[in-house]
Structure 1
Amino acid sequence: MAHKKSLGALDRSLQDLRRNDRLFENAVLLLAGDFRQTLPIIPWLKPADEINACLKYSTFWQHVRTFHLTRNIHVQQQNDHSAELFSNQLLKIGNGIVPANLTSGRISFPQNFCNLVATKEDLIKKVFADIQFKYKDPSWLSERVILAPKNKDVHEVNSTIQLNIPGELVTPSTLFLKKTKQSTIQQNF
Protein backbone atom coordinates (compact mmCIF):
# COMPACT_ATOMS: atom_id res chain seq x y z
CA MET A 1 0.00 0.00 0.00
CA ALA A 2 2.99 2.32 0.19
CA HIS A 3 3.02 5.21 -2.26
CA LYS A 4 5.95 5.10 -4.68
CA LYS A 5 7.09 8.48 -3.34
CA SER A 6 7.74 6.86 0.05
CA LEU A 7 10.55 4.85 -1.56
CA GLY A 8 11.96 8.08 -3.00
CA ALA A 9 11.84 9.72 0.43
CA LEU A 10 13.70 6.76 1.94
CA ASP A 11 16.34 6.96 -0.80
CA ARG A 12 16.89 10.70 -0.22
CA SER A 13 17.06 10.19 3.56
CA LEU A 14 19.67 7.42 3.28
CA GLN A 15 21.74 9.50 0.86
CA ASP A 16 21.52 12.50 3.17
CA LEU A 17 22.46 10.53 6.29
CA ARG A 18 25.44 8.88 4.59
CA ARG A 19 26.38 11.97 2.53
CA ASN A 20 26.41 9.86 -0.60
CA ASP A 21 24.39 9.92 -3.83
CA ARG A 22 24.32 6.17 -4.51
CA LEU A 23 20.88 4.56 -4.85
CA PHE A 24 19.69 3.69 -1.31
CA GLU A 25 23.31 4.09 -0.19
CA ASN A 26 23.86 0.58 -1.57
CA ALA A 27 21.68 -0.85 1.20
CA VAL A 28 19.68 -4.01 0.56
CA LEU A 29 15.95 -3.46 1.09
CA LEU A 30 13.46 -6.24 1.57
CA LEU A 31 10.02 -5.36 0.22
CA ALA A 32 7.63 -8.13 1.22
CA GLY A 33 4.05 -8.65 0.25
CA ASP A 34 1.78 -9.43 -2.63
CA PHE A 35 1.95 -6.46 -4.97
CA ARG A 36 -1.26 -7.55 -6.68
CA GLN A 37 -3.41 -7.13 -3.61
CA THR A 38 -3.72 -3.57 -2.41
CA LEU A 39 -3.29 -0.27 -4.21
CA PRO A 40 -2.22 2.85 -2.35
CA ILE A 41 -5.26 4.75 -1.10
CA ILE A 42 -5.40 8.26 -2.51
CA PRO A 43 -8.66 10.06 -1.68
CA TRP A 44 -10.52 11.87 -4.47
CA LEU A 45 -8.36 10.57 -7.30
CA LYS A 46 -9.15 8.27 -10.20
CA PRO A 47 -8.22 4.55 -10.17
CA ALA A 48 -5.54 5.26 -12.80
CA ASP A 49 -3.85 7.66 -10.36
CA GLU A 50 -3.84 4.95 -7.68
CA ILE A 51 -2.26 2.47 -10.08
CA ASN A 52 0.35 5.06 -11.09
CA ALA A 53 1.23 5.59 -7.40
CA CYS A 54 2.17 1.89 -6.95
CA LEU A 55 5.75 0.88 -6.20
CA LYS A 56 5.81 -1.06 -9.47
CA TYR A 57 5.50 2.27 -11.35
CA SER A 58 8.40 3.85 -9.46
CA THR A 59 11.69 4.56 -11.20
CA PHE A 60 13.24 2.39 -8.49
CA TRP A 61 11.32 -0.72 -9.59
CA GLN A 62 13.84 -1.45 -12.35
CA HIS A 63 16.40 -2.12 -9.59
CA VAL A 64 14.15 -4.56 -7.74
CA ARG A 65 14.87 -8.26 -7.95
CA THR A 66 11.70 -10.26 -7.39
CA PHE A 67 11.56 -13.62 -5.66
CA HIS A 68 8.38 -15.69 -5.73
CA LEU A 69 7.42 -17.95 -2.87
CA THR A 70 5.80 -21.14 -4.08
CA ARG A 71 4.63 -22.85 -0.89
CA ASN A 72 2.37 -21.54 1.83
CA ILE A 73 4.28 -22.83 4.86
CA HIS A 74 1.61 -21.63 7.31
CA VAL A 75 -1.06 -23.71 5.58
CA GLN A 76 1.34 -26.65 5.27
CA GLN A 77 2.07 -26.61 9.02
CA GLN A 78 -1.64 -26.69 9.84
CA ASN A 79 -1.93 -29.95 7.90
CA ASP A 80 -5.44 -28.89 6.81
CA HIS A 81 -6.31 -30.15 3.33
CA SER A 82 -9.21 -27.70 2.85
CA ALA A 83 -6.98 -24.71 3.81
CA GLU A 84 -4.35 -25.89 1.32
CA LEU A 85 -6.96 -26.29 -1.41
CA PHE A 86 -8.34 -22.80 -0.71
CA SER A 87 -4.81 -21.32 -0.74
CA ASN A 88 -4.04 -22.91 -4.11
CA GLN A 89 -7.33 -21.72 -5.59
CA LEU A 90 -6.65 -18.19 -4.33
CA LEU A 91 -3.20 -18.26 -5.96
CA LYS A 92 -4.70 -19.40 -9.26
CA ILE A 93 -7.16 -16.50 -9.16
CA GLY A 94 -4.39 -14.04 -8.27
CA ASN A 95 -2.12 -15.36 -11.01
CA GLY A 96 -4.86 -14.99 -13.62
CA ILE A 97 -5.04 -18.72 -14.31
CA VAL A 98 -8.82 -18.86 -13.76
CA PRO A 99 -10.39 -17.87 -17.10
CA ALA A 100 -12.76 -14.91 -17.30
CA ASN A 101 -16.20 -15.00 -18.93
CA LEU A 102 -15.81 -13.43 -22.38
CA THR A 103 -19.06 -11.44 -22.23
CA SER A 104 -18.99 -10.17 -18.63
CA GLY A 105 -15.23 -10.12 -18.07
CA ARG A 106 -15.76 -11.73 -14.65
CA ILE A 107 -14.23 -14.93 -13.36
CA SER A 108 -16.26 -17.84 -12.07
CA PHE A 109 -15.17 -19.11 -8.70
CA PRO A 110 -14.34 -22.80 -8.45
CA GLN A 111 -17.26 -24.90 -7.18
CA ASN A 112 -15.88 -25.45 -3.67
CA PHE A 113 -14.15 -22.04 -3.29
CA CYS A 114 -16.79 -20.18 -1.31
CA ASN A 115 -20.46 -19.92 -0.42
CA LEU A 116 -22.13 -17.03 -2.22
CA VAL A 117 -24.99 -15.13 -0.60
CA ALA A 118 -27.34 -12.52 -2.02
CA THR A 119 -27.36 -9.87 0.73
CA LYS A 120 -25.33 -8.57 3.69
CA GLU A 121 -28.01 -9.91 6.00
CA ASP A 122 -27.65 -13.40 4.52
CA LEU A 123 -23.88 -13.15 4.95
CA ILE A 124 -24.25 -12.18 8.61
CA LYS A 125 -26.71 -15.02 9.21
CA LYS A 126 -24.34 -17.49 7.54
CA VAL A 127 -21.15 -16.39 9.35
CA PHE A 128 -22.65 -15.51 12.73
CA ALA A 129 -25.49 -18.04 12.94
CA ASP A 130 -26.78 -18.40 16.51
CA ILE A 131 -24.72 -15.44 17.76
CA GLN A 132 -27.38 -14.72 20.38
CA PHE A 133 -26.35 -17.98 22.07
CA LYS A 134 -22.64 -18.22 21.22
CA TYR A 135 -21.45 -14.60 21.63
CA LYS A 136 -19.68 -15.39 24.93
CA ASP A 137 -17.57 -18.19 23.40
CA PRO A 138 -14.20 -16.67 22.38
CA SER A 139 -13.09 -19.73 20.40
CA TRP A 140 -16.31 -19.64 18.32
CA LEU A 141 -15.93 -15.90 17.72
CA SER A 142 -12.25 -16.20 16.79
CA GLU A 143 -13.18 -18.48 13.88
CA ARG A 144 -15.41 -15.85 12.27
CA VAL A 145 -14.72 -12.69 10.32
CA ILE A 146 -16.35 -10.58 7.65
CA LEU A 147 -13.99 -8.40 5.64
CA ALA A 148 -15.21 -5.29 3.88
CA PRO A 149 -13.38 -2.78 1.69
CA LYS A 150 -14.77 0.33 3.39
CA ASN A 151 -15.03 1.32 7.05
CA LYS A 152 -18.66 2.42 6.61
CA ASP A 153 -19.52 -1.12 5.50
CA VAL A 154 -17.64 -2.55 8.49
CA HIS A 155 -19.58 -0.28 10.88
CA GLU A 156 -22.88 -1.22 9.23
CA VAL A 157 -22.16 -4.95 9.48
CA ASN A 158 -20.94 -4.62 13.09
CA SER A 159 -24.06 -2.68 14.07
CA THR A 160 -26.31 -5.31 12.50
CA ILE A 161 -24.45 -8.12 14.30
CA GLN A 162 -24.57 -6.27 17.64
CA LEU A 163 -28.34 -5.94 17.37
CA ASN A 164 -28.53 -9.75 17.51
CA ILE A 165 -26.61 -9.96 20.80
CA PRO A 166 -28.84 -9.88 23.89
CA GLY A 167 -28.32 -7.16 26.48
CA GLU A 168 -27.72 -3.44 26.49
CA LEU A 169 -25.68 -2.01 23.63
CA VAL A 170 -22.63 -0.23 25.04
CA THR A 171 -20.42 2.02 22.94
CA PRO A 172 -17.45 4.18 23.99
CA SER A 173 -19.68 7.27 23.97
CA THR A 174 -22.32 5.63 26.21
CA LEU A 175 -19.57 4.49 28.61
CA PHE A 176 -18.25 8.07 28.74
CA LEU A 177 -21.73 9.41 29.45
CA LYS A 178 -22.29 6.83 32.22
CA LYS A 179 -18.95 7.69 33.87
CA THR A 180 -19.71 11.42 33.61
CA LYS A 181 -23.14 10.94 35.20
CA GLN A 182 -21.67 8.79 37.99
CA SER A 183 -18.96 11.33 38.77
CA THR A 184 -21.55 14.14 38.78
CA ILE A 185 -23.76 12.18 41.19
CA GLN A 186 -20.77 11.46 43.46
CA GLN A 187 -19.78 15.15 43.47
CA ASN A 188 -23.30 16.19 44.48
CA PHE A 189 -23.17 14.02 47.61
Structure 2
Amino acid sequence: MDAIQTETKQKIFFVDGPGGSGKTFLYNTLLARVRSEHRVALAVASSGIAAELLSGGRTAHSTFKIPIPILVTSTCNISKQSILAESIRTASIIIWDEAPMVHKHVIECVHRTFCDIMECNDPFGGKIVMLGGDFRQILPVIRHGRQADIVESNLKRSFLWQNIQTLPLTINMRVRTNNSFSDEAFEKFLLRIGNGTQQILDDGQSTIELPRYICIEPNNNGLQKLIDSVYSNLKTVDPDNSYLGRAILTTKNENVDKINTLVMDQFPATPSNTKIYLSADAVADEDQQGHYPTEFLNSLTPSGTPPHKLYLKKKAPIILLRNLNPTEGLLNGTRLCVLNLGTRIIEAKIQNYRG
Protein backbone atom coordinates (compact mmCIF):
# COMPACT_ATOMS: atom_id res chain seq x y z
CA MET A 1 0.00 0.00 0.00
CA ASP A 2 2.95 2.34 0.62
CA ALA A 3 4.14 1.63 -2.92
CA ILE A 4 0.69 2.51 -4.27
CA GLN A 5 0.10 5.66 -2.24
CA THR A 6 3.63 7.07 -2.33
CA GLU A 7 6.38 7.13 -4.95
CA THR A 8 8.65 4.35 -3.65
CA LYS A 9 11.61 2.78 -5.40
CA GLN A 10 10.51 -0.82 -4.78
CA LYS A 11 7.58 -1.70 -7.03
CA ILE A 12 7.86 -5.43 -7.73
CA PHE A 13 6.97 -7.90 -4.96
CA PHE A 14 6.65 -11.65 -4.60
CA VAL A 15 4.41 -13.17 -1.92
CA ASP A 16 5.95 -16.51 -1.03
CA GLY A 17 3.98 -18.93 1.12
CA PRO A 18 2.96 -22.60 1.23
CA GLY A 19 -0.60 -23.73 0.61
CA GLY A 20 -2.98 -22.55 3.32
CA SER A 21 -0.87 -19.57 4.42
CA GLY A 22 -3.48 -17.04 3.25
CA LYS A 23 -2.10 -15.78 -0.07
CA THR A 24 -5.51 -15.62 -1.78
CA PHE A 25 -7.03 -13.91 1.27
CA LEU A 26 -4.23 -11.34 1.13
CA TYR A 27 -4.74 -10.71 -2.59
CA ASN A 28 -8.48 -10.18 -2.23
CA THR A 29 -7.97 -7.88 0.75
CA LEU A 30 -5.54 -5.73 -1.25
CA LEU A 31 -7.86 -5.71 -4.26
CA ALA A 32 -10.79 -4.59 -2.11
CA ARG A 33 -8.72 -1.85 -0.44
CA VAL A 34 -7.36 -0.46 -3.72
CA ARG A 35 -10.74 -0.56 -5.48
CA SER A 36 -12.43 1.09 -2.49
CA GLU A 37 -10.23 4.10 -3.20
CA HIS A 38 -11.58 4.20 -6.79
CA ARG A 39 -8.31 2.92 -8.21
CA VAL A 40 -7.86 0.26 -10.89
CA ALA A 41 -6.50 -3.12 -9.73
CA LEU A 42 -5.96 -6.01 -12.16
CA ALA A 43 -6.02 -9.59 -10.84
CA VAL A 44 -4.71 -12.51 -12.91
CA ALA A 45 -3.49 -16.04 -12.24
CA SER A 46 -1.60 -18.73 -14.12
CA SER A 47 -4.46 -21.26 -13.80
CA GLY A 48 -8.22 -21.01 -14.19
CA ILE A 49 -9.10 -22.18 -10.68
CA ALA A 50 -6.65 -19.74 -9.07
CA ALA A 51 -8.13 -16.93 -11.19
CA GLU A 52 -11.65 -17.90 -10.13
CA LEU A 53 -10.67 -17.48 -6.47
CA LEU A 54 -9.51 -13.89 -7.06
CA SER A 55 -12.00 -11.03 -6.99
CA GLY A 56 -12.48 -10.09 -10.64
CA GLY A 57 -9.69 -12.47 -11.60
CA ARG A 58 -8.90 -13.89 -15.03
CA THR A 59 -6.13 -16.06 -16.41
CA ALA A 60 -2.93 -14.20 -17.29
CA HIS A 61 -2.89 -15.62 -20.83
CA SER A 62 -6.42 -14.37 -21.48
CA THR A 63 -5.88 -10.94 -19.93
CA PHE A 64 -2.49 -10.08 -21.39
CA LYS A 65 -2.87 -11.92 -24.73
CA ILE A 66 0.26 -13.99 -24.07
CA PRO A 67 1.29 -15.90 -27.22
CA ILE A 68 1.54 -19.68 -27.44
CA PRO A 69 4.16 -21.04 -27.90
CA ILE A 70 6.29 -18.61 -25.92
CA LEU A 71 9.75 -17.58 -27.14
CA VAL A 72 12.59 -15.71 -25.48
CA THR A 73 11.77 -12.59 -27.54
CA SER A 74 7.95 -12.82 -27.48
CA THR A 75 5.68 -9.87 -26.71
CA CYS A 76 1.96 -9.81 -25.92
CA ASN A 77 -0.55 -8.99 -28.64
CA ILE A 78 -1.72 -5.72 -27.06
CA SER A 79 -2.06 -2.55 -29.12
CA LYS A 80 -0.94 0.67 -27.42
CA GLN A 81 -4.25 2.25 -28.49
CA SER A 82 -6.45 -0.55 -27.12
CA ILE A 83 -8.74 -0.43 -24.08
CA LEU A 84 -6.60 -3.09 -22.41
CA ALA A 85 -3.48 -0.95 -22.80
CA GLU A 86 -5.33 1.97 -21.20
CA SER A 87 -6.38 -0.29 -18.30
CA ILE A 88 -2.75 -1.26 -17.79
CA ARG A 89 -1.68 2.39 -17.81
CA THR A 90 -4.26 3.37 -15.19
CA ALA A 91 -3.83 0.29 -12.98
CA SER A 92 -2.48 1.07 -9.52
CA ILE A 93 -1.47 -2.55 -8.91
CA ILE A 94 -1.37 -5.80 -10.86
CA ILE A 95 -1.61 -9.04 -8.85
CA TRP A 96 -0.48 -12.30 -10.49
CA ASP A 97 -1.11 -15.50 -8.52
CA GLU A 98 0.66 -18.82 -9.15
CA ALA A 99 3.48 -17.06 -11.01
CA PRO A 100 6.04 -19.88 -10.42
CA MET A 101 3.88 -22.22 -12.53
CA VAL A 102 4.65 -20.42 -15.80
CA HIS A 103 7.91 -20.26 -17.74
CA LYS A 104 10.13 -17.28 -16.99
CA HIS A 105 9.75 -16.23 -20.64
CA VAL A 106 6.02 -15.64 -19.97
CA ILE A 107 6.80 -13.17 -17.18
CA GLU A 108 9.48 -11.52 -19.32
CA CYS A 109 7.05 -11.30 -22.24
CA VAL A 110 4.59 -9.34 -20.09
CA HIS A 111 7.47 -7.17 -18.82
CA ARG A 112 8.48 -6.19 -22.37
CA THR A 113 4.89 -5.45 -23.30
CA PHE A 114 4.38 -3.22 -20.25
CA CYS A 115 7.62 -1.36 -21.04
CA ASP A 116 6.32 -0.69 -24.55
CA ILE A 117 2.89 0.46 -23.34
CA MET A 118 4.29 2.68 -20.58
CA GLU A 119 7.25 3.84 -22.72
CA CYS A 120 9.51 3.10 -19.77
CA ASN A 121 12.39 0.63 -19.45
CA ASP A 122 11.92 -0.01 -15.72
CA PRO A 123 10.76 -3.52 -14.71
CA PHE A 124 7.18 -3.99 -15.95
CA GLY A 125 7.24 -0.43 -17.27
CA GLY A 126 7.34 1.02 -13.76
CA LYS A 127 4.00 -0.56 -12.77
CA ILE A 128 3.46 -1.94 -9.26
CA VAL A 129 3.25 -5.71 -9.67
CA MET A 130 2.66 -8.31 -6.96
CA LEU A 131 3.54 -11.84 -7.97
CA GLY A 132 2.72 -14.76 -5.73
CA GLY A 133 2.95 -18.51 -5.35
CA ASP A 134 5.00 -21.30 -3.86
CA PHE A 135 8.23 -22.58 -5.40
CA ARG A 136 7.80 -25.81 -3.42
CA GLN A 137 4.90 -26.73 -5.68
CA ILE A 138 4.94 -27.62 -9.37
CA LEU A 139 7.41 -25.71 -11.55
CA PRO A 140 6.90 -25.04 -15.28
CA VAL A 141 6.38 -28.20 -17.32
CA ILE A 142 9.05 -28.58 -20.01
CA ARG A 143 8.25 -31.12 -22.70
CA HIS A 144 10.95 -33.80 -22.69
CA GLY A 145 12.95 -31.53 -20.38
CA ARG A 146 15.61 -32.58 -17.93
CA GLN A 147 15.67 -31.52 -14.29
CA ALA A 148 18.18 -28.79 -15.18
CA ASP A 149 15.85 -27.48 -17.92
CA ILE A 150 12.95 -27.24 -15.46
CA VAL A 151 15.04 -25.41 -12.87
CA GLU A 152 16.40 -23.02 -15.49
CA SER A 153 12.85 -22.14 -16.65
CA ASN A 154 11.58 -20.91 -13.28
CA LEU A 155 11.08 -17.28 -12.28
CA LYS A 156 14.14 -17.15 -10.02
CA ARG A 157 16.34 -17.65 -13.10
CA SER A 158 14.88 -14.59 -14.81
CA PHE A 159 16.78 -11.31 -15.06
CA LEU A 160 13.74 -9.72 -13.38
CA TRP A 161 14.25 -11.59 -10.10
CA GLN A 162 16.96 -9.20 -8.87
CA ASN A 163 14.34 -6.42 -8.90
CA ILE A 164 11.77 -8.38 -6.85
CA GLN A 165 11.33 -8.07 -3.08
CA THR A 166 10.14 -11.29 -1.43
CA LEU A 167 7.43 -11.08 1.23
CA PRO A 168 7.11 -14.46 3.02
CA LEU A 169 4.00 -15.88 4.68
CA THR A 170 5.00 -18.52 7.23
CA ILE A 171 1.91 -19.43 9.32
CA ASN A 172 -0.45 -22.03 7.86
CA MET A 173 -3.84 -20.46 8.61
CA ARG A 174 -5.75 -23.46 7.24
CA VAL A 175 -4.13 -25.81 9.75
CA ARG A 176 -4.52 -23.30 12.58
CA THR A 177 -8.25 -22.96 11.79
CA ASN A 178 -8.83 -26.73 11.67
CA ASN A 179 -6.79 -27.22 14.87
CA SER A 180 -5.98 -30.81 13.90
CA PHE A 181 -2.79 -32.57 15.01
CA SER A 182 -2.71 -34.78 11.91
CA ASP A 183 -3.08 -31.75 9.62
CA GLU A 184 -0.30 -29.92 11.44
CA ALA A 185 2.05 -32.90 11.34
CA PHE A 186 1.37 -33.47 7.64
CA GLU A 187 1.89 -29.76 6.88
CA LYS A 188 5.27 -29.80 8.63
CA PHE A 189 6.21 -32.96 6.73
CA LEU A 190 5.42 -31.31 3.39
CA LEU A 191 7.41 -28.21 4.34
CA ARG A 192 10.43 -30.33 5.22
CA ILE A 193 10.25 -31.94 1.77
CA GLY A 194 9.79 -28.58 0.04
CA ASN A 195 12.63 -26.97 2.00
CA GLY A 196 14.95 -29.93 1.42
CA THR A 197 15.35 -30.72 5.11
CA GLN A 198 13.50 -34.06 5.19
CA GLN A 199 15.79 -37.06 5.80
CA ILE A 200 16.55 -38.96 2.60
CA LEU A 201 17.33 -42.67 2.56
CA ASP A 202 20.86 -43.49 1.41
CA ASP A 203 19.89 -45.72 -1.52
CA GLY A 204 21.08 -43.59 -4.44
CA GLN A 205 17.47 -42.83 -5.44
CA SER A 206 16.72 -39.84 -3.14
CA THR A 207 13.97 -41.93 -1.52
CA ILE A 208 11.84 -40.40 1.24
CA GLU A 209 10.19 -42.65 3.80
CA LEU A 210 6.56 -41.69 4.40
CA PRO A 211 5.27 -41.53 8.00
CA ARG A 212 3.01 -44.46 8.86
CA TYR A 213 0.10 -42.22 9.86
CA ILE A 214 -0.39 -41.05 6.25
CA CYS A 215 -0.06 -44.51 4.67
CA ILE A 216 -2.87 -46.94 3.91
CA GLU A 217 -2.53 -50.63 4.73
CA PRO A 218 -0.86 -52.62 1.90
CA ASN A 219 -3.78 -55.03 1.49
CA ASN A 220 -7.20 -55.22 -0.14
CA ASN A 221 -8.87 -53.38 2.74
CA GLY A 222 -6.46 -50.43 2.74
CA LEU A 223 -8.01 -48.64 -0.24
CA GLN A 224 -11.56 -49.25 1.02
CA LYS A 225 -10.65 -47.82 4.44
CA LEU A 226 -9.25 -44.72 2.71
CA ILE A 227 -12.50 -44.26 0.77
CA ASP A 228 -14.58 -44.77 3.93
CA SER A 229 -12.45 -42.17 5.73
CA VAL A 230 -12.74 -39.52 2.99
CA TYR A 231 -16.30 -40.24 1.79
CA SER A 232 -18.17 -41.63 4.78
CA ASN A 233 -21.92 -42.42 4.78
CA LEU A 234 -22.40 -41.77 1.07
CA LYS A 235 -25.94 -43.22 1.16
CA THR A 236 -27.28 -40.91 3.87
CA VAL A 237 -25.50 -37.54 3.88
CA ASP A 238 -26.30 -34.44 1.81
CA PRO A 239 -23.63 -34.12 -0.92
CA ASP A 240 -23.95 -30.33 -1.03
CA ASN A 241 -22.43 -30.20 2.45
CA SER A 242 -20.40 -33.38 2.83
CA TYR A 243 -18.10 -33.44 -0.21
CA LEU A 244 -16.82 -29.86 -0.25
CA GLY A 245 -13.05 -29.83 -0.02
CA ARG A 246 -12.73 -33.63 -0.18
CA ALA A 247 -10.78 -35.52 -2.80
CA ILE A 248 -8.55 -38.55 -3.28
CA LEU A 249 -5.46 -37.84 -5.38
CA THR A 250 -3.44 -40.41 -7.29
CA THR A 251 -0.73 -40.30 -9.93
CA LYS A 252 -1.97 -42.86 -12.48
CA ASN A 253 -5.09 -42.91 -14.63
CA GLU A 254 -5.66 -46.62 -13.95
CA ASN A 255 -5.85 -45.91 -10.22
CA VAL A 256 -8.18 -42.96 -10.84
CA ASP A 257 -10.65 -45.19 -12.70
CA LYS A 258 -10.45 -47.91 -10.04
CA ILE A 259 -11.05 -45.51 -7.14
CA ASN A 260 -13.85 -43.70 -8.99
CA THR A 261 -15.65 -46.99 -9.59
CA LEU A 262 -15.33 -48.04 -5.94
CA VAL A 263 -16.64 -44.67 -4.73
CA MET A 264 -19.50 -44.62 -7.25
CA ASP A 265 -20.58 -48.13 -6.19
CA GLN A 266 -21.32 -46.80 -2.69
CA PHE A 267 -23.96 -44.34 -3.91
CA PRO A 268 -27.59 -45.54 -3.91
CA ALA A 269 -28.23 -47.40 -7.17
CA THR A 270 -31.55 -47.31 -9.04
CA PRO A 271 -32.24 -47.47 -12.79
CA SER A 272 -33.32 -43.81 -12.74
CA ASN A 273 -30.22 -42.39 -11.06
CA THR A 274 -27.48 -44.45 -12.73
CA LYS A 275 -26.01 -43.89 -16.19
CA ILE A 276 -23.07 -45.17 -18.21
CA TYR A 277 -21.86 -42.89 -21.01
CA LEU A 278 -19.74 -44.35 -23.82
CA SER A 279 -17.20 -42.35 -25.80
CA ALA A 280 -17.40 -42.11 -29.61
CA ASP A 281 -13.90 -42.99 -30.83
CA ALA A 282 -12.87 -42.87 -34.48
CA VAL A 283 -9.74 -42.38 -36.58
CA ALA A 284 -9.74 -39.10 -38.51
CA ASP A 285 -7.77 -40.55 -41.46
CA GLU A 286 -9.92 -43.13 -43.26
CA ASP A 287 -6.81 -44.83 -44.67
CA GLN A 288 -5.64 -45.59 -41.12
CA GLN A 289 -8.90 -47.02 -39.78
CA GLY A 290 -7.81 -50.59 -40.43
CA HIS A 291 -4.70 -50.11 -38.29
CA TYR A 292 -6.59 -48.78 -35.26
CA PRO A 293 -9.73 -50.82 -34.48
CA THR A 294 -12.44 -49.21 -32.35
CA GLU A 295 -11.79 -51.67 -29.51
CA PHE A 296 -8.20 -50.47 -29.28
CA LEU A 297 -9.25 -46.81 -29.27
CA ASN A 298 -11.78 -47.52 -26.51
CA SER A 299 -9.02 -48.96 -24.33
CA LEU A 300 -7.02 -45.71 -24.35
CA THR A 301 -7.41 -43.09 -21.62
CA PRO A 302 -5.10 -40.17 -22.45
CA SER A 303 -4.33 -37.66 -19.74
CA GLY A 304 -7.07 -35.05 -19.44
CA THR A 305 -9.84 -37.21 -20.92
CA PRO A 306 -12.51 -39.35 -19.22
CA PRO A 307 -12.55 -43.16 -19.65
CA HIS A 308 -14.44 -44.89 -22.46
CA LYS A 309 -17.15 -45.93 -19.99
CA LEU A 310 -18.11 -42.97 -17.79
CA TYR A 311 -20.03 -44.40 -14.83
CA LEU A 312 -22.12 -41.75 -12.99
CA LYS A 313 -24.92 -41.51 -10.44
CA LYS A 314 -27.06 -38.66 -9.18
CA LYS A 315 -25.56 -36.61 -6.30
CA ALA A 316 -22.07 -37.80 -7.24
CA PRO A 317 -19.22 -35.25 -7.30
CA ILE A 318 -17.61 -34.68 -10.71
CA ILE A 319 -14.82 -32.43 -11.98
CA LEU A 320 -14.47 -30.54 -15.27
CA LEU A 321 -11.51 -31.26 -17.54
CA ARG A 322 -11.92 -28.24 -19.85
CA ASN A 323 -12.55 -24.49 -19.62
CA LEU A 324 -16.17 -24.50 -20.82
CA ASN A 325 -17.32 -21.06 -19.65
CA PRO A 326 -14.82 -19.14 -17.45
CA THR A 327 -17.22 -16.24 -16.86
CA GLU A 328 -19.70 -18.65 -15.24
CA GLY A 329 -17.03 -20.46 -13.23
CA LEU A 330 -16.90 -23.54 -15.49
CA LEU A 331 -13.14 -24.05 -15.58
CA ASN A 332 -10.72 -26.93 -15.75
CA GLY A 333 -10.78 -28.27 -12.19
CA THR A 334 -14.21 -26.94 -11.19
CA ARG A 335 -16.07 -29.38 -8.96
CA LEU A 336 -19.79 -30.02 -9.48
CA CYS A 337 -22.56 -32.21 -8.07
CA VAL A 338 -24.68 -34.27 -10.50
CA LEU A 339 -28.39 -33.35 -10.41
CA ASN A 340 -29.79 -35.25 -13.40
CA LEU A 341 -28.46 -37.67 -16.00
CA GLY A 342 -29.93 -37.38 -19.49
CA THR A 343 -29.18 -39.31 -22.65
CA ARG A 344 -26.66 -36.76 -23.91
CA ILE A 345 -26.77 -34.03 -21.24
CA ILE A 346 -25.54 -34.02 -17.65
CA GLU A 347 -27.18 -31.45 -15.37
CA ALA A 348 -24.85 -30.45 -12.54
CA LYS A 349 -24.50 -27.75 -9.90
CA ILE A 350 -21.23 -25.96 -9.10
CA GLN A 351 -20.04 -26.66 -5.57
CA ASN A 352 -19.33 -23.25 -4.05
CA TYR A 353 -16.14 -24.26 -2.30
CA ARG A 354 -13.57 -21.52 -1.78
CA GLY A 355 -10.88 -23.26 0.28
- Does the pair score TM above 0.5? yes
Distance 2:161 2:253 in 1: 31
Relative contact order, CA 8 A, sep 6+: which one is greater? 2
Unaligned 5+ runs, structure 1: 180-189
Gaps of 5+ in 2: 1-100, 280-309, 311-340, 346-355
Picking from 26, 46, 50, the partner of 2:126 is: 26
Letter matched to residue 29 of structure 1: V
Query: What percentage of aligned pairs have identical amino acids?
Result: 28
Report the counterpart of residue 141 of structure 2 in structure 1: 41
Letter paired with 1:87 = E
SS of the aligned residue for 1:32 comes to strand
> Do 2:111 and 2:124's aligned partners in 1 also have CA atoms closer than 8 Å?
yes
Cα distance in 2 for partners of 1:26, 1:158 equals 50
The equivalent of 1:187 in structure 2 is none
Give 1:1-189 correspondences, 5 Å limit: 1-103=101-203, 104-112=205-213, 114-118=214-218, 124-129=223-228, 134-135=234-235, 137=237, 138=239, 139-142=241-244, 144-149=246-251, 154-155=256-257, 157-165=259-267, 166-167=269-270, 168-171=274-277, 177=343
Deviations 1:66-121 (A, max 9, x none): 23322112222333333223222222222222211112421223343x124448x7
Letter in 1 for 2:248: I
* Distance of 2:148 and 2:221 partners within structure 1: 34
1:153–1:3: structure 2 CA closer, same or farther, 3 Å change rule? Answer: farther
CA contact 2:250–2:256 (8 Å) conserved in 1: yes
Whole-angstrom CA distance in 2 between matches of 1:31 and 1:151: 33
Deviation per CA, 1:116-140: give whole Å up to 9, x if none. Answer: 4448x76641222396961552244
* 1:11–1:24 Cα contact (<8 Å) kept: yes
The whole-number CA distance in structure 1 between the counterparts of 2:275 and 2:232 is 13
In structure 2, the CA distance between the partners of 1:42 and 1:169, relative to structure 1 (3 Å rule), is farther
**Secondary structure, aligned partner of 1:67:** strand
- Taking structure 1 as reference, are residues 79 and 66 closer, same or farther at Cα in structure 2, changes over 3 Å only? same
Question: Which amino acid letter does the alignment assign opposite residue 169 of structure 1?
Answer: K
Structure holding more strand per residue: 2
What is residue 186 of structure 1 aligned with on the other side?
none
* Cα deviation digits, residues 26-76 of structure 1 (max 9, x gap): 233222221121021233444433332211222222222223322112222
Distance 1:28 1:157 in 2: 46
Q: Are 1:4 and 1:54, in contact at CA under 8 Å, matched by a contact in 2?
A: yes
